Protein backbone atom coordinates (compact mmCIF):
# COMPACT_ATOMS: atom_id res chain seq x y z
CA UNK A 1 0.00 0.00 0.00
CA UNK A 2 1.15 3.52 -0.87
CA UNK A 3 -0.41 6.96 -0.43
CA UNK A 4 -0.13 10.33 -2.15
CA UNK A 5 -1.25 13.91 -1.52
CA UNK A 6 -3.87 14.85 -4.15
CA UNK A 7 -4.85 18.49 -3.47
CA UNK A 8 -7.18 18.17 -0.49
CA UNK A 9 -7.40 14.39 -0.62
CA UNK A 10 -5.00 11.56 0.09
CA UNK A 11 -5.05 8.73 -2.42
CA UNK A 12 -4.41 5.26 -1.01
CA UNK A 13 -3.25 2.80 -3.65
CA UNK A 14 -2.96 -0.94 -3.36
CA UNK A 15 -5.96 -0.84 -1.00
CA UNK A 16 -7.56 -4.10 -2.09
CA UNK A 17 -8.18 -4.98 1.57
CA UNK A 18 -10.09 -1.78 2.29
CA UNK A 19 -13.72 -2.16 1.29
CA UNK A 20 -15.67 0.88 2.49
CA UNK A 21 -19.10 -0.76 2.56
CA UNK A 22 -17.92 -3.81 4.44
CA UNK A 23 -15.78 -1.86 6.89
CA UNK A 24 -18.50 0.65 7.79
CA UNK A 25 -21.48 -1.74 7.61
CA UNK A 26 -20.16 -4.71 9.58
CA UNK A 27 -21.52 -3.49 12.93
CA UNK A 28 -18.31 -2.15 14.45
CA UNK A 29 -19.07 1.60 14.18
CA UNK A 30 -22.05 3.96 14.15
CA UNK A 31 -20.89 7.38 12.91
CA UNK A 32 -20.20 6.71 9.23
CA UNK A 33 -22.91 7.34 6.65
CA UNK A 34 -22.99 6.89 2.88
CA UNK A 35 -24.69 9.17 0.37
CA UNK A 36 -26.33 8.01 -2.85
CA UNK A 37 -22.96 8.12 -4.62
CA UNK A 38 -21.37 5.72 -2.14
CA UNK A 39 -19.25 8.40 -0.44
CA UNK A 40 -18.87 7.87 3.30
CA UNK A 41 -18.66 10.79 5.71
CA UNK A 42 -17.83 10.21 9.35
CA UNK A 43 -16.61 11.71 12.60
CA UNK A 44 -13.76 10.25 14.64
CA UNK A 45 -11.18 11.65 17.04
CA UNK A 46 -12.74 15.10 16.84
CA UNK A 47 -12.33 15.28 13.05
CA UNK A 48 -14.60 14.80 10.05
CA UNK A 49 -13.59 13.25 6.76
CA UNK A 50 -15.06 11.73 3.63
CA UNK A 51 -13.94 8.58 1.82
CA UNK A 52 -14.58 7.39 -1.70
CA UNK A 53 -13.33 4.58 -3.89
CA UNK A 54 -12.28 5.18 -7.47
CA UNK A 55 -11.08 2.07 -9.24
CA UNK A 56 -8.38 0.44 -7.16
CA UNK A 57 -7.75 3.52 -5.01
CA UNK A 58 -9.43 4.91 -1.91
CA UNK A 59 -9.48 8.70 -1.52
CA UNK A 60 -9.82 10.37 1.87
CA UNK A 61 -10.53 14.09 2.29
CA UNK A 62 -7.80 15.39 4.59
CA UNK A 63 -4.32 16.84 4.66
CA UNK A 64 -1.32 14.58 4.39
CA UNK A 65 -0.47 15.50 7.99
CA UNK A 66 -3.90 14.44 9.29
CA UNK A 67 -3.73 11.24 7.27
CA UNK A 68 -0.38 10.30 8.77
CA UNK A 69 -1.19 11.34 12.34
CA UNK A 70 -4.89 10.38 12.61
CA UNK A 71 -6.43 8.36 9.81
CA UNK A 72 -3.59 5.95 9.03
CA UNK A 73 -3.85 4.43 12.50
CA UNK A 74 -7.64 4.79 12.72
CA UNK A 75 -8.11 2.64 9.61
CA UNK A 76 -5.38 0.24 10.78
CA UNK A 77 -3.60 0.67 7.45
CA UNK A 78 -0.33 -0.74 8.72
CA UNK A 79 -1.81 -4.21 9.20
CA UNK A 80 -1.77 -6.97 6.56
CA UNK A 81 -5.32 -8.34 6.52
CA UNK A 82 -4.59 -10.74 3.67
CA UNK A 83 -2.05 -12.44 5.94
CA UNK A 84 -4.58 -12.51 8.78
CA UNK A 85 -7.09 -14.27 6.53
CA UNK A 86 -4.47 -16.79 5.55
CA UNK A 87 -3.84 -17.58 9.21
CA UNK A 88 -7.47 -17.86 10.36
CA UNK A 89 -8.91 -19.77 7.38
CA UNK A 90 -8.57 -23.11 9.10
CA UNK A 91 -11.83 -24.68 7.86
CA UNK A 92 -14.29 -24.43 4.97
CA UNK A 93 -16.78 -22.24 6.82
CA UNK A 94 -14.12 -19.74 7.86
CA UNK A 95 -12.82 -19.63 4.30
CA UNK A 96 -16.32 -18.82 3.03
CA UNK A 97 -16.87 -16.16 5.67
CA UNK A 98 -13.46 -14.55 5.12
CA UNK A 99 -13.99 -14.43 1.37
CA UNK A 100 -17.42 -12.84 1.85
CA UNK A 101 -16.05 -10.25 4.28
CA UNK A 102 -12.66 -9.59 2.69
CA UNK A 103 -11.98 -5.86 2.85
CA UNK A 104 -13.20 -5.36 6.42
CA UNK A 105 -10.65 -3.51 8.53
CA UNK A 106 -10.99 -3.28 12.32
CA UNK A 107 -11.14 0.44 13.09
CA UNK A 108 -8.98 1.69 15.95
CA UNK A 109 -11.75 3.66 17.62
CA UNK A 110 -11.49 5.92 20.64
CA UNK A 111 -11.86 3.68 23.68
CA UNK A 112 -14.38 5.87 25.53
CA UNK A 113 -16.53 6.31 22.43
CA UNK A 114 -16.50 2.54 21.83
CA UNK A 115 -17.46 1.77 25.43
CA UNK A 116 -20.31 4.29 25.47
CA UNK A 117 -21.53 3.34 21.99
CA UNK A 118 -21.75 -0.36 22.79
CA UNK A 119 -23.55 0.36 26.05
CA UNK A 120 -26.10 2.18 23.90
CA UNK A 121 -26.19 -0.74 21.45
CA UNK A 122 -27.64 -3.21 23.97
CA UNK A 123 -31.00 -4.66 22.90
CA UNK A 124 -31.13 -2.09 20.11
CA UNK A 125 -31.11 -1.95 16.31
CA UNK A 126 -28.51 -0.10 14.28
CA UNK A 127 -30.71 2.77 12.97
CA UNK A 128 -31.83 3.55 16.54
CA UNK A 129 -28.29 3.20 17.93
CA UNK A 130 -27.04 5.69 15.35
CA UNK A 131 -29.86 8.11 16.11
CA UNK A 132 -29.18 8.01 19.85
CA UNK A 133 -25.44 8.52 19.34
CA UNK A 134 -25.96 11.39 16.91
CA UNK A 135 -28.32 13.07 19.38
CA UNK A 136 -25.80 12.58 22.19
CA UNK A 137 -23.09 14.21 20.09
CA UNK A 138 -25.31 17.07 18.93
CA UNK A 139 -26.45 17.84 22.48
CA UNK A 140 -23.12 17.51 24.28
CA UNK A 141 -20.30 17.29 21.74
CA UNK A 142 -18.11 20.03 20.29
CA UNK A 143 -19.25 21.50 16.97
CA UNK A 144 -17.07 20.77 13.92
CA UNK A 145 -17.37 22.48 10.54
CA UNK A 146 -16.59 20.39 7.49
CA UNK A 147 -17.09 21.76 4.00
CA UNK A 148 -20.68 23.07 4.04
CA UNK A 149 -21.89 20.81 6.84
CA UNK A 150 -22.06 20.91 10.62
CA UNK A 151 -20.95 17.91 12.66
CA UNK A 152 -20.31 17.12 16.33
CA UNK A 153 -17.54 15.29 18.12
CA UNK A 154 -18.26 12.52 20.58
CA UNK A 155 -18.57 14.13 24.05
CA UNK A 156 -15.79 13.33 26.53
CA UNK A 157 -16.55 11.22 29.59
CA UNK A 158 -15.88 14.17 31.89
CA UNK A 159 -18.68 16.17 30.28
CA UNK A 160 -21.23 13.37 30.53
CA UNK A 161 -20.20 12.50 34.09
CA UNK A 162 -21.34 15.97 35.19
CA UNK A 163 -24.89 15.33 33.92
CA UNK A 164 -27.95 13.75 35.50
CA UNK A 165 -30.01 11.05 33.82
CA UNK A 166 -32.76 13.58 33.10
CA UNK A 167 -30.25 15.58 31.03
CA UNK A 168 -30.15 12.64 28.61
CA UNK A 169 -33.92 12.74 28.01
CA UNK A 170 -33.46 14.10 24.44
CA UNK A 171 -31.69 10.86 23.54
CA UNK A 172 -34.75 8.74 24.34
CA UNK A 173 -32.37 5.96 25.35
CA UNK A 174 -34.42 4.62 28.27
CA UNK A 175 -32.67 2.60 30.96
CA UNK A 176 -29.35 3.09 29.14
CA UNK A 177 -29.14 6.67 30.48
CA UNK A 178 -28.15 5.33 33.91
CA UNK A 179 -25.47 3.14 32.36
CA UNK A 180 -24.06 6.00 30.23
CA UNK A 181 -23.75 8.32 33.22
CA UNK A 182 -22.25 5.57 35.38
CA UNK A 183 -19.68 4.60 32.75
CA UNK A 184 -18.76 8.24 32.20
CA UNK A 185 -18.26 8.73 35.94
CA UNK A 186 -16.07 5.61 36.16
CA UNK A 187 -13.86 6.76 33.28
CA UNK A 188 -13.74 10.44 34.29
CA UNK A 189 -13.03 9.59 37.91
CA UNK A 190 -10.25 7.14 37.11
CA UNK A 191 -11.98 4.04 38.45
CA UNK A 192 -11.63 2.68 34.93
CA UNK A 193 -8.46 3.79 33.15
CA UNK A 194 -8.98 2.87 29.51
CA UNK A 195 -5.40 3.71 28.54
CA UNK A 196 -4.07 1.31 31.18
CA UNK A 197 -6.59 -1.35 30.15
CA UNK A 198 -5.38 -1.13 26.54
CA UNK A 199 -1.97 -2.34 27.78
CA UNK A 200 -3.40 -5.03 30.09
CA UNK A 201 -4.03 -8.72 29.43
CA UNK A 202 -7.36 -9.12 27.64
CA UNK A 203 -8.98 -11.09 30.46
CA UNK A 204 -8.05 -8.39 32.97
CA UNK A 205 -9.40 -5.66 30.70
CA UNK A 206 -12.72 -7.45 30.21
CA UNK A 207 -13.06 -8.11 33.94
CA UNK A 208 -12.41 -4.45 34.73
CA UNK A 209 -14.92 -3.25 32.14
CA UNK A 210 -17.57 -5.55 33.57
CA UNK A 211 -17.34 -3.79 36.91
CA UNK A 212 -19.24 -0.95 35.22
CA UNK A 213 -22.99 -1.30 35.71
CA UNK A 214 -24.61 -2.28 32.43
CA UNK A 215 -21.47 -3.81 30.90
CA UNK A 216 -21.77 -7.54 30.32
CA UNK A 217 -19.75 -9.99 28.25
CA UNK A 218 -20.74 -8.64 24.83
CA UNK A 219 -20.20 -4.95 25.60
CA UNK A 220 -16.88 -5.72 27.28
CA UNK A 221 -15.70 -7.79 24.31
CA UNK A 222 -16.85 -5.15 21.79
CA UNK A 223 -15.02 -2.47 23.76
CA UNK A 224 -11.90 -4.62 23.92
CA UNK A 225 -11.97 -5.37 20.19
CA UNK A 226 -13.03 -2.01 18.76
CA UNK A 227 -11.86 0.41 21.47
CA UNK A 228 -8.77 -1.24 22.95
CA UNK A 229 -7.62 -2.90 19.68
CA UNK A 230 -7.46 -6.34 21.28
CA UNK A 231 -7.83 -8.38 18.11
CA UNK A 232 -8.33 -11.64 19.99
CA UNK A 233 -11.58 -10.49 21.63
CA UNK A 234 -14.58 -12.43 20.32
CA UNK A 235 -17.96 -10.70 20.94
CA UNK A 236 -20.92 -13.07 20.91
CA UNK A 237 -24.52 -12.06 20.26
CA UNK A 238 -27.51 -14.04 18.98
CA UNK A 239 -26.12 -14.04 15.43
CA UNK A 240 -22.77 -15.38 16.55
CA UNK A 241 -24.38 -17.99 18.80
CA UNK A 242 -26.36 -19.20 15.80
CA UNK A 243 -23.29 -19.30 13.55
CA UNK A 244 -21.18 -21.16 16.09
CA UNK A 245 -23.98 -23.67 16.77
CA UNK A 246 -24.43 -24.34 13.06
CA UNK A 247 -20.80 -24.67 12.05
CA UNK A 248 -18.79 -25.75 15.09
CA UNK A 249 -18.94 -28.48 17.69
CA UNK A 250 -20.21 -27.97 21.26
CA UNK A 251 -17.53 -26.45 23.44
CA UNK A 252 -16.27 -24.23 20.59
CA UNK A 253 -13.25 -22.16 21.64
CA UNK A 254 -12.52 -18.99 19.63
CA UNK A 255 -8.89 -19.53 20.59
CA UNK A 256 -8.64 -21.64 17.44
CA UNK A 257 -8.32 -18.32 15.61
CA UNK A 258 -5.68 -16.87 17.98
CA UNK A 259 -4.35 -14.17 17.84
CA UNK A 260 -7.00 -12.81 15.46
CA UNK A 261 -10.25 -14.20 16.85
CA UNK A 262 -11.80 -10.73 16.66
CA UNK A 263 -11.13 -10.44 12.94
CA UNK A 264 -12.58 -13.92 12.46
CA UNK A 265 -15.62 -12.82 14.44
CA UNK A 266 -16.20 -9.86 12.13
CA UNK A 267 -15.99 -12.03 9.02
CA UNK A 268 -18.42 -14.56 10.54
CA UNK A 269 -20.82 -11.87 11.77
CA UNK A 270 -20.86 -10.06 8.43
CA UNK A 271 -21.29 -13.34 6.54
CA UNK A 272 -24.04 -14.84 8.67
CA UNK A 273 -26.09 -11.63 8.48
CA UNK A 274 -25.50 -10.87 4.82
CA UNK A 275 -25.35 -14.11 2.89
Q: How large is the average pLDDT for residues 112-123? A: 97
Same domain, 62 and 141: no
For CA atoms 107, 112, 116, 119, the dihedral sign is positive
Whether 196 shows a pLDDT value over 90: the answer reads yes
Whether 148 shows a pLDDT value over 90: the answer reads no
Please report whether residue 155 resides in a domain. Answer: yes
- Distance, in Å, from the CA atom of 209 to the CA atom of 270, rounded to the nearest integer, reads 25
The last residue of a domain, from among 57, 78, 99: 78
| Residue 275 pLDDT | 75
> Which CATH number covers residue 134?
1.10.340.30
For CA atoms 50, 51, 54, 59, the dihedral sign is positive
Same domain, 72 and 116: no
pLDDT band at 16 (very low <50, low <70, confident <90, very high): confident
| Residue 144 pLDDT | 97
| Residue 98 pLDDT | 98
Q: How large is the average pLDDT for residues 46-55? A: 96
CA distances to 18, 234, 264 from 105, rounded to whole Å, are: 7, 15, 11
The structural domain count of the chain equals 2
The last residue of a domain, from among 206, 227, 248: 227
Same domain, 132 and 221: yes
Same domain, 67 and 148: no
The DSSP 8-state label assigned to residue 154 in this structure reads P
Please report whether residue 94 resides in a domain. Answer: no
H helical segments located in 162-237: 176-188, 194-198, 202-209, 217-222
What are the phi and psi torsion angles at 95 (to 5°)? -65, -40
- List % helix, strand, coil for the chain (3-state, nearest 5): 50, 15, 35
Q: Which domain holds residue 26?
A: 2-78
Q: For residues 14 and 21, is the Cβ–Cβ distance under 8 A?
A: no
Same domain, 61 and 168: no
- Specify the higher pLDDT residue, 189 or 275: 189
Please report whether residue 106 resides in a domain. Answer: no
Please report whether residue 256 resides in a domain. Answer: no
The last residue of a domain, from among 78, 99, 128: 78
Same domain, 223 and 127: yes
| Residue 175 pLDDT | 96
Q: How large is the average pLDDT for residues 12-23? A: 93
| pLDDT tens, residue by residue, 222-270 | 999 999 999 999 999 999 999 999 999 999 999 999 999 999 999 999 9
pLDDT band at 166 (very low <50, low <70, confident <90, very high): very high
Same domain, 116 and 50: no
Percent over 70 (pLDDT), the chain: 100
Whether 122 shows a pLDDT value over 80: the answer reads yes
Whether 22 shows a pLDDT value over 80: the answer reads yes
> Which CATH number covers residue 40?
3.30.310.260
Same domain, 45 and 123: no
pLDDT band at 15 (very low <50, low <70, confident <90, very high): confident
Please report whether residue 259 resides in a domain. Answer: no
Please report whether residue 248 resides in a domain. Answer: no
What are the phi and psi torsion angles at 43 (to 5°)? -120, 130
Please report whether residue 41 resides in a domain. Answer: yes
Same domain, 48 and 115: no
Same domain, 116 and 223: yes
Whether 7 shows a pLDDT value over 90: the answer reads yes
Same domain, 6 and 64: yes
143, exposed or middle or buried, with CB in 10 Å at 0-12, 13-18, 19+? exposed
Question: What is the end-to-end Cα distance of the chain in Å, rounded?
Answer: 29
Q: For residues 7 and 93, is the Cβ–Cβ distance under 8 A?
A: no
Same domain, 221 and 128: yes
Please report whether residue 246 resides in a domain. Answer: no
| Residue 12 pLDDT | 97
Ramachandran region, residue 197 (left: φ > 0; alpha: ψ -120 to 50; beta: rest): alpha
Give 68's Cβ-side CA count (13 Å radius).
7
| pLDDT tens, residue by residue, 168-192 | 999 999 999 999 999 999 999 999 9
pTM for this entry: 0.96
Nearest to 59 by CA among 72, 50, 46: 50
Amino acid sequence: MKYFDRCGEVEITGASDFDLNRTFQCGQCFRWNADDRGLYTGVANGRVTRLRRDGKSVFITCSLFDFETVWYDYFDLGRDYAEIRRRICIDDFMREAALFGAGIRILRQDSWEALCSFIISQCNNIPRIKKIIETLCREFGDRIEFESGEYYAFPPAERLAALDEKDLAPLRCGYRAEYIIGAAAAVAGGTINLEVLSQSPADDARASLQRIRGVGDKVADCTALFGLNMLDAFPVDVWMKRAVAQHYSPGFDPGIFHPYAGVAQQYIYYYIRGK
